[in-house]
C-alpha cells in the first residue's frame, strides 16, 4: 500500500503543466505590461524542455512561474498537479541562474552543501563529494567563488542545484555569460549528467544550438507579449555526444529553429 | 513612483511615531524631569520672548557654520586636486588627512581659541572639520574615474588636461556633492564647539549654560534649533547631491 | 641596518614632519609665549614627564569609548535584524535615523549630560548614541543588499525565513557592519571626549579641561595629542579589520 502510493507519486509527480497562462506586470500607477499571453505546454516527467525566444520575450518569466517565484495573472501552473510553492516547500526543486548566485563568503564545497543547511537537514558529505566529482570541481572544493573562473562557478551552481536530489531542475540561462568554448563543454557535461539520471528539466536559453543539443522538446516563444510560436520535438538518440554537433540533421534543425526565432523577433 | 511614495509615507509615519513617543515620555515622566514633552519645547521656541533669543543665537551659529563650510570645502577640494595632479605628493597627503582627521574637534576648538580672535574661532573650527571631509571625498572621487575611461582617452591621445577636465572632474563631482551633504552637520558641530571656547553668544554657549543652570526647556529648545538648521542644510545639499548623481552617474 | 623603513616613514608622513618642524620654528623664532602655544618639543617633554598620567587617561577614554562602540553596534544590529522581518517598520525607522544623523549630535551632548547625570554612564551613552544611528541605517540596508539571485534561490529551495536570515542575510550584511565600525571607531572616541570635557568626569576630556583652565597649554596639547593618537589607532584598526574581511566578504 505504502509502496503503491509511493510509486504513484513517483509516476507523474514532477510533470510540468502550463495551462493558458498570462502574466501582467504593473509598471506604474494604472499601467500594466503583458509579459506572457496564453502560454500552454507540457513537460512530461523525466524529459528535458528548452525554451528559446528573443530577449525580453518572457522566457525567464516562465521559469519563475515554475519556481513559485511568481503567480500567473490568469491560467494555471502546476508540477505533478500541484502548485509549485507546495513542491518548493518539500525542497524538490533545483535551480541555477545566469549570475550563478553563489555566496561569495563560502567555499565551493560549502556552496554545494548550502541547500542542506537552508532547509534544515544534516549535510550529506558523501553526496556533496559525489556531486563535486560529477561536475569536475573536486580539486577546487576549497576555493571561494571569487577565485574561480566563470565556467567553474556555473559547475558549482549546477552541483548545488542537484544536491537535494530534485524532482524538477530549472536552469535560467546558466551558461549565458560564458564563452563559446566553455559553454559547449558544459553542455556536454549537462548532457552526460542528465543521461545518468533523467530529471524533469526546464532550460531557458538564448542559444538554439544548446537547446537542440540538450532538449527533448524546444519551445519557441515570440516577442513580447510572449506567446508560443512553435513546439518542436527533438528526437536525436541519447546519450548524445560531440558527434551530434557535427551531424547535418542537427544543423538542419538548428537552422530551421533559428529561422523561426528570427520570424518571431520581428516586432508586430 | 508608487514605491517611492510608499517609502516617504512610511518615513513620515515613523517620524510622527517618534514625536508621539517623545511627547508621551515627557508627559508621563518616563525618562525623568530632564525630558520635556515635545509640545512644551515647541511652545517654548514659539514664544516671542524666546524666539528672539533663539533666532539670534541660531543665525550667529549658522553664519559661522556657513562661512566655515565654504572655506573648508574650497580648501579641501583644492588640496585633493594638488594630491591628484602631483602624484608623488598624494601618498603623504593621504596619511596626513587620516591623522588630521583623528584630531578631535574639541582639541581643534581649544587650540584655535588661543591662536585666532574669538569671533573667528568657530569659523576656523568649522572649516577645519569640513576640510577633512571634503578632502577625503574629493580625493576618492578623483581617483574613482572608471579605468575604461582612462584607457579610452589614452588611446585617443588625449592630453593630461583633457583627461582631467573630461573624465576625472565629472567623475569626482558626485563624490564631492556627497561630501558636501555630509559636511552640513559637521560644520554645525564645528561652529558650536568653537563657540564653547571663545563665544558669549550663539547656540554653543546657550547649550552649555542651559545645561549648567538646569534650564531644561531652554536646553532642549537650543538643541532642537541646532538640529533643525543642520537638518535643513543637509536636506538642501541632498537635492544638490541627487542632481549630481543623476547627471554624472546616471542614477 | 636598513635605511628603507626610515625613508618609507618620511615618504608617508612628510606633511606631518613638515608641520612639526614649521611649528617648532614658529614658536622659537617668533618667541611665542608658552601660554599661547607650546612647541612640539615642550608637548613631547610633558608626555615624557608624566607617562602614567596620560596612559591612564587615554586608557580610560578608550575603555568607555570601546564600551559605547560595542553597545551601540550591538543595539544597531539587533534593531536592524528585528526590523528586517518588516520592511514597513524599517521604512518607518530609517527616516528618523537618517535625520538624526544629519544633526550635530556631538554638539548636543549637553542634553544627554543633563538627562543622565554627570557620570561615566553618560560618557558611554554618548558613544552609544553616536554609534547607534549610522550602524542601524547601514545594517538595515545591508540586510537587503543580497548577492543577485540568492533570494530567489532560497525561495525555490523552500528555505525557512530564519534559515535564510542565518545563512544568507546576516553574512550579506557583514560589509555594512565593517563600514559602520570604521565610521564609528573615531566618532565614539570624539563623543566620549566631548562628554568627558563637558562634565569633567574622567579620562582625556577631563585632563584636557583642567589643563586648559590652568592655562597649561603644553598639558592641554599633550592630552589632545594622546586623543588624536588613540583616535587614529582606532580608525587604523577598523580599517585593517575591514581590509582583512574584504577578501571573504566582498562588498
pLDDT over 90 (residue C31): no
CATH number at residue C170: 1.10.3720.10
Q: Is A102 in Cβ contact with C156 (below 8 Å)?
A: no
Instruction: Specify if A3 maps to a domain.
Output: no
Q: Is residue A142 within 8 angstroms of chain C, CB to CB?
A: no
Whether residue A260 sits in one domain with residue A203: yes
Please, what is the average pLDDT of chain A? Answer: 88
**What would you report as the CA-atom Rg of chain C, rounded to the nearest whole angstrom?**
22
Min distance C161 CA to chain A CA atoms (Å): 9
Bridge partners of A120, per DSSP, are: none
Whether residue A208 sits in one domain with residue A86: yes
Q: Is residue C163 within 8 angstroms of chain A, CB to CB?
A: yes
pLDDT tens for residues C184-195? 998 899 899 989
Instruction: Specify if C12 maps to a domain.
Output: no
Total CB pairs under 8 A between chain A and C: 75
Instruction: Name the closest residue on chain A to residue C167, using Cα atoms.
Output: A118
Instruction: Name the closest residue on chain C to residue A162, using Cα atoms.
Output: C157
Supply the pLDDT for residue A203.
96
Supply the pLDDT for residue A33.
84
* Residues whose CB is less than 8 angstroms from the CB of residue A13 and which lie 6 or more positions away in sequence, other chains included: A45, A79, A80, A167
Chain A residues whose CB is inside 8 A of the B1 CB are 28-29
Between the alpha carbon of residue A268 and those of residues A21, A32, A222, A263, B49, the distances in Å are 21, 19, 10, 10, 73
pLDDT over 50 (residue A237): yes
Instruction: Specify if B205 maps to a domain.
Output: yes
List chains adjacent to chain B, taking adjacency as at least 3 C-beta pairs closer than 8 Å.
Answer: A, C
Q: How many domains does chain A have?
A: 2
Whether residue A261 sits in one domain with residue A178: yes
Burial class (CB in 10 A: 0-12, 13-18, 19+), B2: exposed
Instruction: Specify if B137 maps to a domain.
Output: yes
Alpha helix ranges (H) inside chain A: 2-12, 59-66, 84-89, 108-118, 125-134, 150-162, 180-196, 208-214, 248-265
Instruction: Specify if C112 maps to a domain.
Output: yes
Residues B223 and B207 sit within 8 Å (Cβ to Cβ): yes
pLDDT over 90 (residue A219): yes
Tracing cell 585633493 back to the chain, one arrives at: B80
H or E element that contains C189: helix C174-199
Supply the pLDDT for residue C174.
92
pLDDT tens for residues C197-229? 888 888 999 998 888 888 888 888 899 889 988
Instruction: Specify if B96 maps to a domain.
Output: yes
Average pLDDT over residues A110-116: 94
Residues C147 and C172 sit within 8 Å (Cβ to Cβ): yes
Q: Which of B7, B35, B104, B112 best probes binding to C when mutated, by most C CB atoms within 10 angstroms?
A: B104
Whether residue A174 sits in one domain with residue A244: yes
Q: How many domains does chain B have?
A: 1
Share of chain B above pLDDT 70, in %: 94
Domain housing A146? 107-165
Residues 103-132 of B with CB under 8 A from A: none
Whether residue A179 sits in one domain with residue A153: no
pLDDT over 80 (residue B90): no
Q: Is B14 in Cβ contact with C110 (below 8 Å)?
A: no
Q: Is residue A166 within 8 angstroms of chain C, CB to CB?
A: no
pLDDT over 90 (residue A43): yes
Q: How many domains does chain C have?
A: 1
Instruction: Specify if C18 maps to a domain.
Output: no
Instruction: List the beta strands (DSSP E) in chain B.
Output: none
Tracing cell 501582467 back to the chain, one arrives at: A24
Residues B249 and B174 sit within 8 Å (Cβ to Cβ): yes
Whether residue A177 sits in one domain with residue A77: yes
Please, what is the average pLDDT of chain C? Answer: 87
Min distance B5 CA to chain A CA atoms (Å): 11
Give residue B91's Cα distance to chain centre.
26
Q: Which of C142, C150, C158 best probes binding to A when mutated, by most A CB atoms within 10 angstroms?
A: C158
Q: List the single residue in C103, C110, C221 with the smallest CB-CB distance to B111.
A: C221
Supply the pLDDT for residue C130.
92
pLDDT tier, C153 (very low <50, low <70, confident <90, very high otherwise) = very high
Q: Is residue C152 within 8 angstroms of chain A, CB to CB?
A: yes
Whether residue A181 sits in one domain with residue A88: yes
Q: Is residue B147 within 8 angstroms of chain A, CB to CB?
A: no
CATH number at residue B193: 1.10.3720.10
Domain housing B95? 39-249
Q: List the single residue in C99, C106, C197 with the smallest CB-CB distance to B189.
A: C106
Q: Is residue A196 within 8 angstroms of chain B, CB to CB?
A: no
Of A95-104, A209-218, C112-121, give the lowest mean pLDDT range. C112-121
pLDDT over 50 (residue C168): yes
Whether residue A178 sits in one domain with residue A80: yes
pLDDT tens for residues A132-171? 988 889 999 999 999 999 999 999 999 999 999 999 999 9
Supply the pLDDT for residue A6.
39
Instruction: Specify if B91 maps to a domain.
Output: yes
Instruction: Specify if B93 maps to a domain.
Output: yes
Q: Is A104 in Cβ contact with C147 (below 8 Å)?
A: yes
Instruction: Name the closest residue on chain C to residue A106, using Cα atoms.
Output: C248
Supply the pLDDT for residue A2.
38
Supply the pLDDT for residue A9.
47
Instruction: Specify if A5 maps to a domain.
Output: no
Q: In terms of Cα–Cα distance, which of B206, B76, B71 is closest to B134?
A: B76
Q: How far apart are CA A181 and CA C53, in angstroms?
A: 70
Chain A residues whose CB is inside 8 A of the B2 CB are 28-29
Helix C174-199 vs helix C203-213: crossing angle, to nearest 10:
30
Of A22-26, B11-15, B246-250, give the lowest mean pLDDT range. B246-250
Supply the pLDDT for residue A266.
64
Min distance C169 CA to chain A CA atoms (Å): 11
Between the alpha carbon of residue B182 and those of residues B83, B87, B121, B231, C90, the distances in Å are 22, 27, 22, 11, 22
Please, what is the average pLDDT of chain B? Answer: 85
Q: Which of B8, B58, B62, B106 best probes binding to C when mutated, by most C CB atoms within 10 angstroms?
A: B106
pLDDT over 50 (residue B152): yes
pLDDT over 50 (residue B66): yes
Whether residue A161 sits in one domain with residue A210: no
Instruction: Specify if A253 maps to a domain.
Output: yes
Supply the pLDDT for residue A4.
39
Domain housing C241? 50-246
Amino acid at each position: 500500500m505504502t509502496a503503491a502510493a509511493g510509486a504513484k507519486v513517483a509516476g507523474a509527480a514532477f510533470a510540468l503543466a502550463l495551462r493558458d497562462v498570462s502574466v501582467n506586470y504593473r509598471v506604474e500607477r494604472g499601467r500594466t505590461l503583458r509579459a506572457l499571453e496564453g502560454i500552454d505546454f507540457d513537460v512530461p516527467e523525466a524529459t528535458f524542455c528548452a525554451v528559446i525566444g528573443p530577449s525580453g520575450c518572457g522566457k525567464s518569466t516562465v521559469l519563475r512561474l515554475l519556481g513559485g517565484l511568481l503567480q500567473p495573472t490568469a491560467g494555471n501552473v502546476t508540477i505533478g498537479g500541484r502548485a509549485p510553492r507546495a513542491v518548493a516547500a518539500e525542497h524538490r526543486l533545483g535551480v541555477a541562474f545566469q549570475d550563478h548566485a553563489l555566496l561569495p563568503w563560502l567555499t565551493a564545497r560549502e556552496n554545494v552543501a548550502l541547500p542542506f543547511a537552508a532547509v534544515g537537514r544534516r549535510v550529506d558529505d558523501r553526496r556533496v563529494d559525489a556531486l563535486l566529482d560529477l561536475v569536475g570541481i573536486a580539486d577546487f572544493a576549497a576555493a571561494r567563488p571569487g577565485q574561480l573562473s566563470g565556467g567553474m562557478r556555473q559547475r558549482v551552481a549546477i552541483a548545488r542545484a542537484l544536491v537535494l536530489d530534485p524532482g524538477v531542475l530549472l536552469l535560467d540561462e546558466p551558461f549565458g555569460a560564458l564563452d563559446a568554448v566553455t559553454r559547449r563543454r558544459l553542455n556536454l557535461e549537462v548532457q552526460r549528467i542528465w543521461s545518468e539520471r533523467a530529471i524533469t528539466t526546464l532550460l531557458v536559453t538564448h542559444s538554439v544550438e544548446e537547446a537542440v543539443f540538450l532538449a527533448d522538446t524546444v519551445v519557441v516563444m515570440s516577442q513580447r507579449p510572449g506567446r508560443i510560436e512553435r513546439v518542436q520535438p527533438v528526437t536525436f538518440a541519447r546519450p548524445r555526444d560531440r558527434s551530434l554537433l557535427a551531424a547535418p540533421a542537427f544543423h538542419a534543425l538548428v537552422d530551421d529553429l533559428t529561422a523561426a526565432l528570427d520570424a518571431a523577433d520581428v516586432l508586430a | 513612483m508608487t514605491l517611492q511614495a510608499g517609502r516617504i509615507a512610511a518615513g513620515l509615519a515613523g517620524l510622527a511615531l517618534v514625536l508621539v513617543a517623545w511627547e508621551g515620555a515627557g508627559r508621563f515622566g518616563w525618562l525623568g524631569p530632564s525630558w520635556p514633552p515635545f509640545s512644551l519645547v515647541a511652545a517654548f521656541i514659539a514664544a516671542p520672548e524666546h524666539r528672539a533669543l533663539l533666532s539670534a543665537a541660531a543665525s550667529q551659529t549658522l553664519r559661522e557654520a556657513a562661512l566655515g563650510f565654504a572655506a573648508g570645502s574650497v580648501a579641501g577640494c583644492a588640496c585633493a586636486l594638488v594630491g591628484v595632479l602631483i602624484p608623488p605628493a598624494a601618498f603623504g597627503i593621504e596619511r596626513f588627512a587620516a591623522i588630521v582627521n583623528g584630531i578631535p574637534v574639541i582639541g581643534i576648538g581649544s587650540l584655535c581659541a588661543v591662536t585666532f580672535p574669538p569671533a573667528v574661532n568657530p569659523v576656523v573650527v568649522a572649516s577645519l572639520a569640513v576640510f577633512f571631509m571634503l578632502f577625503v571625498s574629493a580625493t576618492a572621487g578623483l581617483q574613482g574615474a572608471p579605468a575604461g575611461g582612462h584607457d579610452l582617452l589614452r588611446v585617443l591621445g588625449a592630453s593630461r588636461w583633457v583627461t582631467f577636465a573630461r573624465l576625472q572632474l565629472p567623475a569626482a563631482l558626485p563624490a564631492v556633492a556627497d561630501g558636501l551633504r555630509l559636511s552640513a552637520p559637521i560644520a554645525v558641530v564645528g561652529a558650536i564647539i568653537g563657540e564653547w571656547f571663545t563665544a558669549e553668544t550663539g547656540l554653543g554657549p546657550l547649550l552649555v549654560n542651559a545645561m549648567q543652570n538646569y534650564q531644561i526647556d531652554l536646553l532642549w529648545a537650543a538643541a532642537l534649533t541646532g538640529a533643525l538648521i543642520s537638518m535643513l542644510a543637509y536636506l538642501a545639499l541632498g537635492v544638490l547631491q541627487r542632481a549630481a548623481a543623476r547627471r554624472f552617474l546616471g542614477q | 641596518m636598513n635605511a628603507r623603513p626610515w625613508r618609507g616613514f618620511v615618504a608617508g608622513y612628510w606633511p606631518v614632519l613638515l608641520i612639526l618642524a614649521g611649528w617648532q620654528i614658529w614658536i622659537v623664532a617668533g618667541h611665542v609665549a608658552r601660554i599661547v602655544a607650546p612647541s612640539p618639543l615642550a608637548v613631547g617633554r610633558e608626555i615624557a614627564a608624566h607617562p602614567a598620567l596620560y596612559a591612564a587617561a587615554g586608557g580610560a577614554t578608550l575603555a568607555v569609548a570601546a564600551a559605547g562602540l560595542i553597545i551601540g553596534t550591538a543595539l544597531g544590529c539587533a534593531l536592524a535584524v528585528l526590523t528586517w522581518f518588516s520592511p514597513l517598520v524599517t521604512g518607518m525607522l530609517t527616516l528618523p535615523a537618517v535625520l538624526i544623523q544629519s544633526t550635530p549630535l556631538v554638539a548636543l551632548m549637553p542634553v544627554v549630560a543633563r538627562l543622565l547625570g554627570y557620570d561615566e554612564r553618560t560618557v558611554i551613552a554618548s558613544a552609544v548614541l553616536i554609534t547607534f544611528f549610522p550602524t542601524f541605517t547601514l545594517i538595515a540596508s545591508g540586510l537587503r543588499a543580497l548577492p543577485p539571485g540568492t533570494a530567489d534561490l532560497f525561495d525555490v529551495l523552500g528555505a525557512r525565513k530564519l534559515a535564510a536570515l542565518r545563512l544568507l542575510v546576516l553574512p550579506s550584511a557583514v560589509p555594512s557592519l565593517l563600514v559602520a565600525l570604521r565610521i564609528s571607531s573615531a566618532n565614539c572616541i570624539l563623543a566620549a571626549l566631548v562628554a568627558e570635557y563637558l562634565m569633567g568626569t574622567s579620562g582625556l576630556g577631563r585632563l584636557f579641561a583642567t589643563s586648559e583652565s590652568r592655562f597649561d597649554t603644553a598639558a592641554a596639547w599633550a592630552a589632545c595629542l594622546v586623543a588624536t593618537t588613540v583616535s587614529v589607532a582606532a580608525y587604523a584598526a577598523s580599517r585593517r579589520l575591514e581590509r582583512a574581511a574584504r577578501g571573504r566578504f566582498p562588498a
